[in-house]
Structure 1
């Protein structure tokens, strides 16, 4: 049997986001790979209670735990706001299943949140009539993000929600390795109108070409915005002391340490960081201004996952044009969509080292974002 371990490593990195609207940019995952999915049960209620930062953090934990276990080997993953999806080669399938089970246990014990987790072979997805194709979008020289096409992720997620392919929770007390996962930055307030969270999916059983054409038009409209609608300032987001996500980060990073002790540790760490960033102090290889700029450069604010998701700093005129294109396509039976306006964007981060540029920053709307837009989409049939 052919060794498919290096499949993802060998994919080209695509620098132009608009190229991702073309099927030619995607490569089918090998049959022997597996897809893992996770999402939060009752995320709508948590959002209504103002706990979307918690929702984002748990969703991002799926990614960070897998990166920490990867030994530096790249794999495709995607952040969905209230969950995440990923794919791994067969050599890592058992470890990925274990990690997902640990996260399920941890989310329940640490936060009282029910996390659904599942795993399904790519071959089974194809047997169900869908594909899983991936592309690599280069955000910077040090960071790239996976994009997915083919309908396979949506199929796997729907099966998970129906109770299929579910993975059990790990033993009580199991702890994931979430080193590097944080939420220290302040929300980024809209500068050009509003923060627009957009979720678009193709209508079922319709030719894909029409959907791809509409996606090209939407991406083109978004790229006409200032900095393509990037929701973070070019010099990076703001930093407060104490940071608004301190308690949440204490929960995520405390392991078996008491919350009181971990809060004190984080307060000390954040105070030092705040002084360095405010004063622009350099130490060794760490340069605060460069680091903040890379937060913006590396931000994951737009993606394809069997459809299109974007979090944009959007002016009223462009928002109207985007909505007009989408409404026409929806009435034509081509797609479904949800759109949410907010005042700010939220950033959840994974930072292996402050001395390197490979830190990743997952962006979503601060008031429900992708999760709320998805609910809105589901409430509006084609």
Structure 2
């Protein structure tokens, strides 16, 4: 069952240096018989305005956790988009993917009171529509790699998802995916340079690919000066609190057949112990808190390429203005569409199957709209 995934994805060379992401030689076409799974929170912007930003992010990350756990935590290509997620799997895992999509949509409906659109799109259908899906593997640290997507096929599939094509129906009430390891215990991370910027830039047409790659290079150069832009996650110990801000939603991810109140009571005691261990650097068995915190920052998924550039940056207002001007010029030249959203802080949602391993992943977004708010401008 694992051969297709292991043979294809594991053999894609892992690259370092985010600036290399537009090099087409790094990308490999997905096999024709693979499938793409996708999710999207309906009316996510309104939900965020209503204060449900943690729930929206958890709904997006939940699909990745559900699929990973269903696959026994094997590596597979996925990407997190703030209010949704996408992944690719070989045909022998298609039914596992369908079940995870249906169960996740049911859980989001039942426990988070949100609607999650989900779909399973054949790669063959994407190519028949004239698009492609190529994937690369970027390693922000020695411990993890994240999939980067190119070819326009992922963006086309997202349009199909929102149009209701290839839809997977949510499972019956009470169906729950395995979301072990999914949590969001951190407080918001306030901006140090003035603001947290959520940025999305996508090419207008395939013919503008070279100009778009030049635009991406300009953006990466502009954001490469630490005096003006930095990693959005810092000072982790100050972002710890008890009870954690995400206690309620974590109780819902892990409650099983228990009531939310009962699970919150048990989880409250567990998170109190975890808070003390992390806050005071207490080593327990093979767990080293300081190492985990360093790995969290190094492994964080705060910039990516999924048929377009997405970044969450802690930057100065002046840099945000220059980025907006550069993107606006590219838009007026017919090269790119873009969305920006400015906020005061960032949030992180974590998937940690084992705190004793170094391959835990952490999805970063803006705390007051993030990618979902930035994407609203793309629809104008």
1:197 alignment partner in structure 2: 198
Going from structure 1 to structure 2, the CA distance change for 1:243 and 1:227 (only over 3 Å counts) comes to farther
Q: CA separation of 1:166/1:115 partners in 2, compared to 1, >3 Å: closer, same or farther?
A: same
Q: Which residue is equivalent to 1:40? A: 41
Separation (CA, whole Å) in 1 of partners of 2:229 and 2:287: 29
Task: Give the number of equivalent residue pairs.
Answer: 378
Q: What is residue 127 of structure 2 aligned with on the other side?
A: 126
SS at match of 2:286: coil
What is the deviation of 1:56? 0.2
Q: State which drifts further: 342-351 or 324-333.
A: 324-333
Q: Quote the offset at 1:318 in angstroms.
A: 2.2
- More displaced 10-residue stretch of structure 1: 102-111 or 227-236: 227-236
Local SS of the residue matching 2:10:
helix
Q: CA 1:122–1:228 in 2, change beyond 3 Å: closer, same or farther? A: farther
**Cα distance in 2, alignment partners of residues 99 and 349 from structure 1:** 19
Q: Is the 8 A contact 1:5 1:89 kept in 2?
A: no
CA distance in structure 1 between the partners assigned to 2:205 and 2:238 by the alignment = 39
Matching residue of 1:349: 350
**Which deviates more, 42-51 or 216-225?**
216-225
1:14 matched to which residue of 2? 15
Q: State yes or no: 1:111 paired with 2:104.
A: no
Q: Distance in 1 between matches of 2:228 and 2:257?
A: 43
- Counterpart of 2:268 in structure 1 is 267
SS at match of 2:21: helix
The 1-side partners of 2:378 and 2:294 are apart by: 34
Aligned to 1:311: 312
| 2-structure distance, mates of 1:9, 1:228 | 33
Say whether the 8 Å CA contact 2:27–2:136 is kept in structure 1. yes
Give deviations 1:90-125, integer Å, cap 9, x for gaps.
Answer: 111111011101111121122221111101111110
Does 2:224 align with 1:223?
A: yes
Partners of 2:299 and 2:5 in 1: CA distance:
28
Give me the whole-angstrom Cα distance separating, in 1, the residues matched to 2:238 and 2:255: 25
Unmatched 5+ residue regions in structure 1? none
State the partner residue of 1:71.
Answer: 72
Q: Which residue of 2 aligns with 1:279?
A: 280
Secondary structure at the aligned position of 2:173 is classed as: coil
CA RMSD of aligned residues (A): 1.6
Measured against aligned partners, the alpha-carbon deviations of 1:156-188 in whole angstroms (never above 9, x if no partner) come to 110111111011222332110000000001111
**Structure 1: distance between partners of 2:73 and 2:107:** 24
Matches of 1:258 and 1:136, distance apart in 2 = 40
Alignment check: 8 A CA contact 2:193 2:229 kept: no
Name the residue aligned to 1:360.
361
TM-score, normalization: structure 2? 0.96
Q: What is the distance in 1 between the residues matched to 2:42 and 2:235? A: 35
Higher deviation after alignment, 174-183 or 287-296? 287-296
CA distance in 2, matches of 1:38, 1:361: 18
TM-score in terms of structure 1 length: 0.95
Name the structure 1 match of 2:239: 238
Q: Deviations over 1:320-356 (max 9, x none)?
A: 2212211111110101111011110000000111111
Partner of 1:300: 301
Match of 2:148 in 1: 147
Q: Distance in 1 between matches of 2:263 and 2:175?
A: 18
Q: Distance in 1 between matches of 2:319 and 2:114?
A: 37
Cα pair distance change 1:45/1:362, threshold 3 Å: same
Question: Alpha-carbon deviation of 1:235?
Answer: 5.8
Deviates further, 206-215 or 219-228:
219-228
- Per-residue deviation, residues 11-46 of structure 1 (Å, max 9, x unmatched): 111110000022222111111110011101111210
User: Equivalent residue of 1:207, what SS?
Assistant: helix
Counterpart CA distance in 1 for 2:328 and 2:76 is: 35
Distance of 2:85 and 2:156 partners within structure 1: 14
CA distance in 2, matches of 1:90, 1:301: 30
Structure 2 Cα separation of the partners of residues 297 and 145 of structure 1: 12
